[in-house]
Structure 1
Amino acid sequence: MRLPKRLLLTAGALALAGRRALKPTADLRGKHVLITGGSRGLGLALARELAGRGARLTLVARTRSDLETAAAELRAKGAEVQVVAADLTWAESAEQVREAAANFGDLDVLVHNARLIQTGPLDNMTEEDFRDVMEIHAFAPLRLVQTFLPQLRRRQGRVLLVSSVGGKVAVPHLVPYSVSKFASVGLGQGLRAELAAQGVTVTTVCPGLMRTGSARQATVKGQHEREYALFATLANLPVLTLAADEAARRIVQALVRGDAEAMIGGPALLLRSAQALAPQLTADVLALSHRFLPGPGATDQPRLGAEVETPLTENNPLKRAAEERYNEEGGATN
């Protein structure tokens, strides 16, 4: 006998609600949480949110001065924080991080947030560009999980991978970034399936654009000033973007609930839904949008966003406020 579709949908909704109600949530008080890319931007917003929930933090980033700035702020608010300066694109860095983090004991939660953004036409992207972002978005979290897995097993720990809506829908002028974020989503799904039986919960979050002040850290190719002006403007539009503090709150909530995957922000959810429901139409719209983007540049030379600021981007009040709040006024990347 075939059940009515409405009954099946109702049963499914009730089962999902029951699963959420019964699923154990994480109490972060006193837990050791490691955050990569934790010195600025979304990583700093996540550190503030986690510290507010009583976690002890190990912050990892490339630049020690940025780490110390972030740590000083968090310590002033009563947080227990240690920092590790490491380049996660190096295979040896995972063991370096493990040794340095040991001062706080076994790890309870691993948050991989470190990222590299490249924006520009595909014509100006090289194979090296694809390899660079794959290292930081896919191989670095894989190495860290493998390195910390014995501790995470002992602690029944959790892993949070910060991916992107670009890991669900490939967007023009962000092709290397999207490829690597698709890989990070796949890594999160695979790790969740493999590690669940070992007591380790893996959550993958896919935020849309957020006002983190990090546009100036992006690597820009093509027509540098035009490309950056467009990217930095879109990254700070009030309706299209989500405030970093709110994004961090939603991301940590997904971690605490133990969600398998969470879209962060209405535009991200809308784009992902459009892709799922109407993939051909979505592809056609994205192809059309590409026609309105800046064309290729004369060389493949990359520039840092901070190097190609114009009055249009420098005087954006939302952008400036985010840069100040999230420690993004320097020039080095996480």
Structure 2
Amino acid sequence: MRVSKRLLLAGAAAALAARRTLTPRYALSGKSVLITGGSRGLGLALAREFAARGARLTLVARTSSDLDTAAAELRGQGTEVATVTADLTKREEVERAVQAAMTAHGALDVVVHSAGMIQTGPLQDMTEDDWREVMEINAFAALRLVRAAYPHLKAAGGRVLLVTSIGGKVAVPHLGPYSMSKFAAVGLGAALRAELGLDGIGVTTVCPGLMQTGSPKHALVKGQHEKEYAWFATIDNLPLVSMPAPAAARGMVDALVRGDAEAMIGVPAAVARYAQALAPQLVADAMALTNRFLPGPTGNPQARRGADAESEVTRSNPIKRAAEQGFNQE
């Protein structure tokens, strides 16, 4: 039995080494890459990383002014950039974005689903519509994108990069709808990789931990708005726990280039994943204990944007302020 286990482990190690050696790296120079949510935050960091590797870009987002600003920056560095203002909850607008990439660049080699939304608040203050809304953006929009791009990706032997979250591996209190949508997105990525490989399409699902992207200001906050936003914005920017956006983007693009099926981005994400796999009861108990220290429900389903839930506590928070200043200077 011991010999068999050793042989099994040796075989697995050899297979992994062979994969690293024999699987060709995906060259991005000259490739046409469509990025949803590409106008700011992580999406823009990904656009910068793809541009640095010689890709031609199509950025998709809801706000045209943000797209114009992002495109101007990238074009100033010599990158070919097309922009599309679109609502990813509508199939016809996703299809229009894909066609725009084809029109602008004559091909579509890579699609990246980075667009997403975050809601934070107690379960009791979340409505069913909240759960459906976040599922539309974080999970169904990714499916729409891949379905719309499928013929072009098949013709190109292209790639798909799905940006999910460690929240798709470990459910975090006060992020219930977000966690459900990210669990769904992780499952979608696994299903797409299993089936689209026959068509020569590679699918990589990345699960980052906390990142310094400025996202708390755009999150929808429920419950005790100021207290809820305070804990969320602080933990999202903690040093050592939260990654700078450029480092996260670099890790994600590296995973795509390698052809990884799934990649944890950042050490905390990897630790959380293995803790969940090896000690699920312990992780569940830790999350339940964490919930005891979070602001309680109010019975009021009204939501505020994070930027509108700022208080003197968060405005003067040195951790949050330093992280935001660093992100704005990137």
Tell me the TM-score range normalised by the shorter chain: over 0.9
Aligned to 1:216: 217
SS of the counterpart of 1:159? strand
Say if 2:32 and 2:101, in contact at 8 Å, map to a contact too: no
Cα distance in structure 2, aligned partners of 1:2 and 1:223: 56
Say if 2:203 and 2:259, in contact at 8 Å, map to a contact too: yes
Aligned to 2:257: 256
Is 1:63 the equivalent of 2:63?
yes
Deviation readout 1:203-243 (Å, 9 max, x if unpaired): 00000000111110000000000000100000101111111
Say if 1:51 and 1:74, in contact at 8 Å, map to a contact too: yes
Say if 1:213 and 1:322, in contact at 8 Å, map to a contact too: no
Deviation readout 1:41-96 (Å, 9 max, x if unpaired): 01011000000000000000000000010111111111111110001012221122
Say if 1:160 and 1:204, in contact at 8 Å, map to a contact too: yes
Compute the TM-score of the two structures, normalised by the length of structure 1.
0.95
Aligned CA RMSD, in angstroms, stands at 1.3
Aligned to 1:101: 101
Structure 2 matches for 1:187-202, cutoff 5 A? 187-202=188-203
Cα distance in structure 1, aligned partners of 2:123 and 2:324: 29
Is 1:46 the equivalent of 2:34?
no
Q: Give the Å deviation of 1:325.
A: 3.7
Is 1:12 the equivalent of 2:2?
no
Cα distance in structure 1, aligned partners of 2:19 and 2:268: 26
SS of the counterpart of 1:79? coil
SS of the counterpart of 1:92? helix
Structure 1 residue runs of 4 or more that deviate by more than 3 Å after TM superposition:
none
Structure 2 matches for 1:222-301, cutoff 5 A? 222-301=223-302
Q: Give the Å deviation of 1:303.
A: 0.3
Aligned to 1:206: 207
Cα distance in structure 2, aligned partners of 1:295 and 1:2: 52
Aligned to 1:85: 85
Q: Which amino acid aligns with 1:305?
A: G
Deviates more, 1:295-304 or 1:29-38: 295-304
Deviation readout 1:240-267 (Å, 9 max, x if unpaired): 1111110000000000001000000111
Say if 1:214 and 1:323, in contact at 8 Å, map to a contact too: no
Q: Percent identity?
A: 63
Aligned to 1:330: none
Deviation readout 1:284-331 (Å, 9 max, x if unpaired): 1111111111101241100000101123322433232145246xxxxx
SS of the counterpart of 1:238? coil
Q: Give the Å deviation of 1:15.
A: 1.5
Aligned to 1:317: 321
Cα distance in structure 1, aligned partners of 2:138 and 2:193: 17
Show structure 2 runs of 5+ residues with no match: none
SS of the counterpart of 1:233? helix
Q: Which amino acid aligns with 2:3?
A: L
Q: Which amino acid aligns with 1:60?
A: V
Aligned to 1:176: 177
Show structure 1 runs of 5+ residues with no match: 327-334
Say if 2:161 and 2:205, in contact at 8 Å, map to a contact too: yes
SS of the counterpart of 1:202? strand
Cα distance in structure 2, aligned partners of 1:325 and 1:129: 33
Compute the TM-score of the two structures, normalised by the length of structure 2.
0.96
Cα distance in structure 1, aligned partners of 2:2 and 2:284: 36
Cα distance in structure 1, aligned partners of 2:322 and 2:58: 29
Cα distance in structure 2, aligned partners of 1:101 and 1:107: 6
Cα distance in structure 1, aligned partners of 2:46 and 2:312: 30
SS of the counterpart of 1:83? strand
Cα distance in structure 2, aligned partners of 1:159 and 1:124: 35
Structure 2 matches for 1:141-160, cutoff 5 A? 141-160=142-161
Q: Give the Å deviation of 1:139.
A: 1.0
Number of positions where the alignment pairs a residue of Structure 1 with one of Structure 2: 326
Is 1:138 the equivalent of 2:139?
yes
Q: Give the Å deviation of 1:14.
A: 2.3
Deviation readout 1:158-177 (Å, 9 max, x if unpaired): 00000000001111000000
